[in-house]
Amino acid sequence: MTSVGRATWLCFSLCLVVVLLPCEGRNSQSLHVRLPHGGWLIGRHLTTHNGQPMRAFMGVPYAEPPLGELRFRPPVAASAWQGERLAVKDAPICLQRDPFRRDTLIEGSEDCLYLNVYTPGSRSRINASLPVMVWFHGGGWQCGSGISSFYGPDFLLDHDIVLVSANFRLGPLGFLSTETLDCPGNNGLKDQVEVLRWVRSNIEAFGGDPGSVTVFGESAGGASVTYHMLSPKSRGLLHRGIAQSGTYFNPWAQPAHKGVAAGRAEKLAKLVGCGGGDSSWEEKLKCLRQRPADDIVASLYDMFVWDFDPMIPFPPVIEPDHEGAFLTVPPRQALQPHGLELPLMIGATAEEGLLKTAALLNLPQLMAEFKSQFGQVLPVVLNYDHHDEGVQRRITQRIESFYFKQGHDYSKANHQNLTDLISDGWFVAGIDEYMRLRLNQPQDAVVAPTYVYLFDHKGAASFSEIFKGERNEFYGACHAEELQYLFPIGRELFVSAVPTPQDLQLRQLMLQLWVSFARTGNPNPTNASFSLPTWRPAYSYPVEYARLGTKMDAEDAEEAASLLRLESSLMQQRVDFWSELQAHLPATSRAHNEL
């Protein structure tokens, strides 16, 4: 090659590099987002389950690390930064121990207040800002996370939305309370408020609409949704709610009567060597802030009375009245919370109680203790052991006569009454009470539509496996069962399960229902890929609701194809029992929002 030829080739090569550089994935401008404070985030490219491009911005700080002096204090908004910040991987989960899996492992980090944002990869066909869906995970406010390996965007981002998932402090690090201004409590819920404030301030930069925010969650995440529809601190930060298997009326989610939270804080301080003598709360908290976080989280298991009950030793609390308080009034005293004005989708699974009974049915020693100590254990399990012994006995007798008319039978083949008891006591009764709050308002009250569902599906895999059930036995639609149809949880939890055709159809249906509700406040899709009956909101009792899924075998094609059926009188006899039981409790207990 001549010198002229070499020069020509070099010139062509340089021009080619200049042309190609803007197309290189690492430098794609679509993955650069500038936040209002001036700093930049650099995200990553991912694809959805169906191969659609999406942008992911992961490990984004929304609050300062709650370390040292910030431990046991409300969140402090994250500081601004200059220049670029890489946001391409999950942050650590919040420090935790998982009693639902009966784990001894302590995992996570105290530096965990981060969120993930997922958006469609191409905006060329979208002219308006997208609805935003903010996910708060379950786990009893003591375990779980918002990371992508569990609550990833793979399914939801096949639709045009912006998805936000977040970590928040858990267990004693998130919910310890002295019931004084020294440490009022509810810091995990205040973390969630900080997430919603971050969304309001920043989501427009990602193509999201800050005026169209749907908060959704399951179990404690569902109860969190209802708390945000109650607390004045959250007013205006959300516009719709989806409460899956949880409300603040569930006994595990209710603030305990006065003195319980402070007593548990005192016990924790002693367990980690911070409770000596007549030291003040100020001194105890100073000591607790210096103790290893692992030691504090480990103490969670010392709070249980029998097995892993009471289910949540550190629930939300009623705070002393102060400027930063999230909750100062028992929920039953807040007769018209601002959330009445917001559309709500709310529901449960058909056998929620398998969260507990799966272990009872498969751990013989645990069942033997439960049977032999039924009168002492049931008040602890169902959170009414704070009553005097006479009241406890009367409640237990009424429960026995209602659920075990033919005597106790705890066999796997005949577990339904026991599972129904736990389902109702832990979940269904509290969900029903929240629906009654919305549906029994005065005629002049402004109440947005309430859409009710019951998830009742037999899939290829069941969460009862996670809670110590047998892998190849189907007990019913377990607590958390619906999550695998909204998120790609199955790839982590159920690696040997192959989804059935009905599973795939149900996933497609549920995604359309959830996304449609997030867009409009109405779950009925305008462009459904199914022929669906119209799901109407509930306005009165008996409650109209949608039953999602089928328990028929796959070969029964005609029945299995009907994955949304409209019904009424949701577990009416059972919820009436609990409503009547609640009404006959001592007035002081009702005032304190307890079973």
Crossing angle for the helix pair 389-403 and 374-381, to the nearest 10 degrees? 90
Quote the DSSP letter at residue 319. Answer: P
Q: How many CA atoms lie within 13 A of 179 on its CB side?
A: 16
The Cα–Cα gap between 374 and 357 comes to 14
The Cα–Cα gap between 268 and 178 comes to 11
Tokens representing residue 402 in the block = 């209602």
Angle 297-218-463 from CA coordinates, rounded to 5° = 85
The Cα–Cα gap between 301 and 486 comes to 31
15-54: b (≥16 Cβ within 10 Å) or e: eeeeeeeeeeeeebeebebebeeeebbbbbebebeeebeb
CA-based end-to-end distance of the chain: 90
Helix (H, G, I), strand (E, B) or coil at 42: strand
458-490: b (≥16 Cβ within 10 Å) or e: bbbbbbbbbbbbeeeeebbbbbbbbbbbbbbbb
- Give DSSP secondary structure letters for 118-169: EEES--TT--SPEEEEEEE--STTTS----HHHH-STTGGGSS-EEEEE---
The Cα–Cα gap between 27 and 47 comes to 18
- Give DSSP secondary structure letters for 237-305: S-SEEEEES--TTSTTTSPPPTTHHHHHHHHHHHHTT---TT--HHHHHHHHTTS-HHHHHHGGGGG-S
Side chain identity, residue 570? L
The Cα–Cα gap between 139 and 105 comes to 15
Cα distances from 136 to residues 145, 220, 232, 241, 430, in angstroms, run 8, 8, 19, 11, 19
Q: Which of 165, 212, 219, 464 is catalytic?
A: 219
In the block, residue with structure tokens 């055709």: 501
Tell me if residue 219 is catalytic.
yes
Walk across the sheet containing 53-61 and list its strands. Answer: 44-47, 53-61, 114-120, 162-166, 130-136, 208-218, 240-244, 344-349, 450-455, 544-548, 564-568
- C-beta neighbour count of 230 within 10 angstroms: 21
- C-beta neighbour count of 526 within 10 angstroms: 9
Tell me if residue 529 is catalytic.
no
Main-chain dihedrals φ then ψ at residue 546, nearest 5 degrees: -105, 125
Q: Which of 194, 319, 352, 594 is catalytic?
A: 352
Helix (H, G, I), strand (E, B) or coil at 57: strand
Would you name the residues annotated as active-site residues?
219, 352
